[in-house]
Amino acid sequence: QGLVTASAAEQGLAIERLDAEGQGAVQVSLQPAPFEQLLRWLQALEGQGVRIEEAGMERRDEGRVAARLGLRVGP
């Protein structure tokens, strides 16, 4: 959970909601952000061992998306 919030802040992304689901699983909702910025964050997370188990994105203003993600930290 700390890894997810810290890395989002490093990438300039704002977390709207974060729900821990146990065993390293978290559900994250992000405020609308540039799509490319979101992709960079997801790549950084994968590089730190975070698995993206589900992703939903909604297009907002030009080039921006709101995202809902299911992530798993660790094995």
pLDDT for 4 equals 93
Q: Is the separation of the CB atoms in 14 and 33 below 8 Å?
A: yes
Number of domains observed in the structure of the chain: 1
Q: What is the pLDDT of residues 14-72, one digit of tens each?
A: 999 999 998 899 999 999 999 999 999 999 999 999 999 999 999 998 899 999 999 99
| Angle ∠(21,51,64) on CA atoms, nearest 5 | 90
Domain that holds residue 15: 2-73
Q: Is the pLDDT of residue 75 over 80?
A: no
CATH code where residue 8 lies: 3.30.70.60
